Amino acid sequence: MTSAVETLRGFLAARDDAEPAVGSSMRSYVLPGAGNDAVVLLHGLTASPPAWNAISAALNAAGSTVVAVRLPLHGHTDRMTRALSGLSADLLTSDLRAVIAAVAALEKRIVIGGHSLGGTLAIYAAGTLAQVDQIVAIAPFLGVARLPREAHRALLPLVRRLPNAYLWWDPIDRDRQQPEHGYPRYPLHALTVGIGIAEAAYAQATGKPYARVIDLVLNARESSVNNRAARRLAARWRRTQANVMIHELDGLPPSHDIIEPLRPNSQRVRDVLVDVFAGRRGGAGTIAHRV
């Protein structure tokens, strides 16, 4: 008889097989655990599952079943692929619903952890997917740093009319940028996809979310995404009596990619995140973690 874990692995394998360009080391994976939690990990824009390797190993060692998911159109062997030109909000959210439905067959408590765009999807899931008990959104992309949230709605139609040009994450290193399991550039319209999902999540936050526990993890010196928008979302949710905690990481340099194992300080960030996933939250409202 096929086990629930094997069925889930088969589902994820077929999903990855549907994109033949996906690299063998960048496919989705499952680490079975004896505990009651199934932690679904969603990477950020242009990244892939190996970004979670250190954190997923630590969560699995603590007993959780870990499901590291490759987002659609990500993880291709050709780092200069233009596959992300086809990214859309519907593609990401419908895929997430299918993944969570497959994970639910494990009959474990479902936790979604997401970084950046993955954090945006986790927030979206908190208000739309009844199977989800907890989310941990790490540096969620709810807007561009230092740009007021209200400005995003005005700019979205303008950006969508621009050519879908590809931009380098690092204009100096360009295609030499590491890590190898991520694309070194992104299409301009991918930003509007993320902001569109964020706007939908913000609109849903007038009602109490399905997720019983919500943790937002922010770098106090965030360089790319809008921390203020995350705090405003938390305040909106709290008005519905939702259980929301903000974890502010102090001591990091200006950065965004704080989960990547190759980055400095990633081990200290990992240790904080394992505690957050495990429910060792501490305090109430907002808590600072020195890393």
Region label for 73, one of left (φ > 0), alpha (ψ between -120 and 50) or beta (otherwise): left
Structure tokens at 150: 């209200």
Contact call for residues 27 and 49 (beta carbons, < 8 A): yes
Dist CA 98 CA 54 (whole Å): 26
Evaluate whether 141 touches 163 at the Cβ level (below 8 Å).
no
Cis preceding linkage at 179, omega within 30: yes
DSSP code string of the chain: ---HHHHHHHHHHHHHHTSTTB-GGGS-EEE--SSSEEEEEE--TT--GGGGHHHHHHHHHTT-EEEEEPPTT--BS-TT--GGGG--HHHHHHHHHHHHHHHHTT-SEEEEEEETHHHHHHHHHHHH-TTEEEEEEES--SSBTTS-HHHHHHHHHHHHHS---EEESSTTTGGGPSPTTS-SEEEHHHHHHHHHHHHHHHHHTTS--S-SEEEEEEETTBSSB-HHHHHHHHHHHHTTT--EEEEEEESPPSBS--S-TTSTTHHHHHHHHHHHHTT---SSSEEEEE-
Q: State the amino acid at position 290 in one-letter form.
A: R
Number of domains in the chain: 1
**pLDDT at residue number 147:** 83
Task: Give the per-residue pLDDT at 284.
Answer: 62
CATH number, domain containing residue 209: 3.40.50.1820
Separation CA 150–CA 45 (nearest Å): 23
CA 169 – CA 116 distance, rounded (Å):
14
Average pLDDT, consecutive stretches of 10 residues, N- to C-terminus, the chain (291 residues): 89 98 98 97 98 96 97 98 97 98 98 98 97 98 86 82 93 92 96 93 93 96 95 95 94 92 86 91 76 84
Note the pLDDT of residue 30. Answer: 98
pTM: 0.96
Question: Residue 112: what pLDDT?
Answer: 98
- pLDDT of 283 reads 59
Range of the domain at 256: 4-290
pLDDT at 156: 81
Q: CB under 8 Å, gap of 24 or more: what pairs does 120-123 form?
A: 120/194, 120/197, 120/198, 120/201, 121/42, 121/71, 121/92, 121/93, 121/96, 121/197, 122/42, 123/198, 123/201, 123/233
